[in-house]
Amino acid sequence: MRICVILEGCYPYVTGGVSSWMHQYIQAMPQHEFVVWAINADPSQNGKFRYQLPPNVVEVREVSLTNAAPRRDRKRSLKFTDAELGAMRELVECGRPDWEVLFGIFQQKKVSPADFLSSKYFLDTLSEICRQKYTYTAFSDYFHTIRSMLFPLLYVMCSDVPQADVYHTIATGYAGVLARLGSWKSRVPFLLTEHGIYTREREEEIIRANWVLPDFKDLWIRFFYMLSSAAYDGASMVTSLFNRARLTQIEIGADPDLCRWIANGIHYEKFAAVPPRARADDIHIGAVLRIAPIKDVKTMLYAFAEVEQHIPAAKLYIAGPEDDPEYALECRNLMNQLGIKNAVFMGTINVLQYMGDFDFTVLSSISEGQPLSVLESFASGRPCVTTDVGCCKELIFGDGDDKLGQAGYCVPPMQPHELARAMEDLCRNSARRLQMGNVAKQRAEKYFRHEDMIRNYLDAYEDVFRRWRSRRQ
């Protein structure tokens, strides 16, 4: 089977998180060929891979959202059918366009984004909408907002489609549109897997964003919901990592009959072999994460500043790539401003090699799905202090039939005092660390094994083909 996996802003350009998951996923299926269809921010990232691609990756296609615009064909006169005009109107209004009609415009009729965005139809449509909905907004602001919003999407829809037996997108957004495009062009099914709920993450970003004019925040949010609908409406199966995320997908618009959840998995035996840290006078706290705003390293530093005042023997080791150099510099400056003495930025590490140096771990994210770093900590017998995002609460306390007990602490996000209290408790209570670590290890062994996850996805592919064939009969 030839599987085309579609990713946005992660594998193979950055390490950790979804990228690590994807790399291990491909390696675990050597019997299948993989095409990596990767979306990046700009062409300067092309070819700059952070991974040695496995031998069963037979092709890589790269799409850059800020690539140069194709030249306009000034001699070409654009003519559209009523169905095409309706689909394009829905697209401009961020409604629910007929995606197959749009694909026909940009794939079969070869209309370029520049031609469309400079057409009389586009300008007339914008003028009408602006008069109706943005009476007190400058037309130039509306025009440039819509143009900057639609151009990357239209460019994506003009992409050459790699051949595959099934398309598997690891997010909605632009990746979800590409999956639906591949399915349409190759006449094969596609599967959607969400690690985090892409639409909700974009919504939170836009609400906080300074670059979005207040008049257009709702429009940008509708835009990303529109992209999600392209994936939800066309997928033969929609998967998530835990049940609460599945319910959110249904709430957003996914068909409940097509939704299932497949838990993440880690290589349990490798991490279970990590020995407990030898008794020492100091306490080592590990934080394995990307140095990026979504991981909220600053809250962790504020919390550790408190911990260090009360427990001088505590040491914090922050391990992970600095994908956002500006944010990383802000974190280092904050550490100096707070006078923290016992925290270290380690850079990218071999987690398996260093886990034995930690007594417990901490994760202070403001958004997560089902973090692999927590599962790896659990398998190593280390409890974790997490924020209450994604399924972290279920990981700490168990869910459903899981009555194993508590495997750490879960506190509200962006609350440094709460985070500090939880960290201090684990620093002071070695017996509690041991007891919670044992629970964590049992939970990882029972519910989060990599081989179980791979088997579930292989079963999902078979189910997707069955559904696709039955729909075509």
The answer to whether residues 239 and 259 touch, using CB atoms and an 8 Å cutoff, is yes
Give 34-73 pLDDT, tens digit per residue. 999 999 988 999 999 999 999 999 999 999 998 755 555 5
Residue 319 has a pLDDT of 96
Alpha helix ranges (H) inside 237-361: 243-252, 268-272, 297-310, 325-337, 351-354
Q: What is the pLDDT of residues 433-469, one digit of tens each?
A: 999 999 999 999 999 999 999 999 999 999 999 988 8
Residue length of the chain:
473
What is the pLDDT at residue 343?
97
* Long-range Cβ contact pairs of 7-11 (< 8 A, separation 24 or more): 7/36, 7/37, 7/38, 7/39, 7/169, 7/170, 7/171, 7/175, 8/39, 8/170, 8/171, 8/173, 8/174, 8/175, 9/39, 9/40, 9/41, 10/170, 11/36, 11/38, 11/51
Cα→Cα distances 296→142, 299, 307, 367, Å: 33, 6, 17, 9
Distance CA 442, CA 448 (A): 10
Nearest to 421 by CA among 275, 268, 261, 304: 304
Q: Which residue segments constitute the domains of the chain, with CATH numbers given? A: 2-69+158-261 (3.40.50.2000), 82-147 (no CATH), 268-448 (3.40.50.2000)
8 Å CB contact between 117 and 151: yes
Backbone angles phi, psi at 110, to 5 degrees: 60, 35
pLDDT at 362: 98
Please report the pLDDT score of residue 1 as a whole number.
95
pLDDT at site 383? 98
Distance of CA 301 to the CA centre of its chain: 24
Q: What is the pLDDT of residue 118?
A: 87
Report the chain (473 residues): mean pLDDT per 10 consecutive residues. Answer: 96 91 97 97 92 97 79 66 94 95 95 89 92 89 93 94 97 97 97 94 90 92 96 96 95 95 96 93 96 95 97 97 92 97 95 95 94 97 97 93 94 97 97 97 97 97 90 68
Query: CA-CA distances (angstroms) from residue 208 to 137, 148, 214, 217?
Result: 21, 19, 10, 10
Residue-level pLDDT at 144: 92
